[in-house]
Amino acid sequence: MSRSALSLYTLFFTQLAQGHHSSIGIYDEENLIDIEGVVTSVRWRNPHPFYTVTVEDENGEMIDWEIETGSVSTLRLRGVDRDFIQVGDRVRLAGQSSLRDLPEMFAQNMLLDDGREVLLRAVSTPYWSAGLEGNLYERETDEVLSTEGRRTADGIFRVWSPIFHIPEAYPLYNSSVISSLTESATALKAQWDPRSSPYTGCQPKAMPQIMGSAYPIQFVARGNDLIIQIEEFDLERLIHMDTSRSSIPDTYSLLGFSRGRWEEETLIVETERVEAAILYGDGTPQGREIQLVERFTMNEAQDQLNYRVSITDPENFTETLEFTRYWVWQPDIRLQAYNCGNQL
């Protein structure tokens, strides 16, 4: 597979690298700013929490800044819940400034009074504490939930969590020139207006994009079939394991029609009948003829789930694309209700 194909496929699965529901066209990815002020409101909800922070500018005027952060799941996996920052707290934040010439920020980092730094997005790297060991705020393990999680885990059937600080586990966006788009796909992408993205709100993502989610997933047996529960959008993927009893439907859907089988220790899932969609963030299209082949394999210790998917979409890509990522098992993590747009 060529480097351009790998770069393109990495693009498909990097939701958070462009903001959970696409920061393209809203925030300046190249301009990181640093502000300090007092929190005056907290809106803890999916897809992203928002804070209002009152900041004194250079003229002594008090300006209300709208602060967007990473997803609820990203924050939860880093030990941040809705009560972590409260109205009246003084905070220092670093993040991307608004392209709309407004007091807005997509916050990536927060500095606590004790000098520890909180990473607020999946793609965040240390800002103030770069290179300083032990200076990052980290989640504490819930031992009661961990004990229960270890008791109930059964092979692949458990909750799997994303891990953000290892590129192989959660690949970041690569803006390399994409050479494997067809001519028609290139034309469609050129017309894309990021402000019209259906993913800026609460519309669920399609396959294969949803499998790049920054939220936990869980495998559940249901009769002879298998369910992949995805915390993001409270989705369930039905994987038909008895292929002799499942026929391909005439209809299309965002998640498509999936049939699975085991080959030794690897779960192989083939998916088709996926509705045409705009891939996250930059307007790259996918067509109805898309064909997906996924492979899920646990490591020997059963604490890592490796993932590889191949995409064939002759309408939009001139070659088959491949992508890999992995999830880790954190026994105390459970799926939470997503309830997009509602206060949690």
Domain boundaries, the chain: 3-18+146-328, 27-141
d(CA 292, CA 286) in angstroms, rounded, equals 12
CA dist 218 and 53 (Å) reads 36
Q: Which pair of structure tokens corresponds to residue 201?
A: 């709100």
Q: To 10 degrees, the CA torsion angle through 94, 100, 103, 107?
A: -20
What's the CA gap between 271 and 268, in Å, rounded? 10
The one-letter amino acid code at 326 reads: Y
Give residue 123's pLDDT.
Answer: 82
Contact 231, 338 (CB under 8 A): yes
For 21-60, write each residue's pLDDT tens digit.
555 568 888 889 999 999 999 999 988 999 999 999 999 9
Handedness of CA 65, 70, 76, 80 (dihedral sign): negative
Residue at 342: amino acid letter: N
If pLDDT is split at 50, 70 and 90, which confidence band does 178 have?
low
| Chain centre to alpha carbon of residue 113 | 29
Q: Counting every residue, how long is the chain? A: 344
Provide the 10 A C-beta neighbour count for residue 210.
22
Closest CA to 323 of 212, 185, 188: 212
Integer Cα distance of 20 and 46 in angstroms: 10
pLDDT tens string 243-294: 776 688 899 999 999 999 999 999 999 999 999 887 656 788 889 999 999 9
pLDDT higher than threshold 60 for residue 204 = yes
Residue type, 194: P
Helix-, strand-, coil-residue percentages of the chain, each rounded to 5: 15, 35, 50
Q: Which residue has the higher pLDDT, 342 or 189?
A: 189
Q: How confident is the model at residue 174 (pLDDT cuts 50, 70, 90)?
A: very low
pLDDT over threshold 80, residue 213: yes
Tell the CATH topology of 27-141. Answer: OB fold (Dihydrolipoamide Acetyltransferase, E2P) (2.40.50)
Beta bridge partners of 310: 293, 322
Q: Which residue has the tokens 């992995």?
A: 326
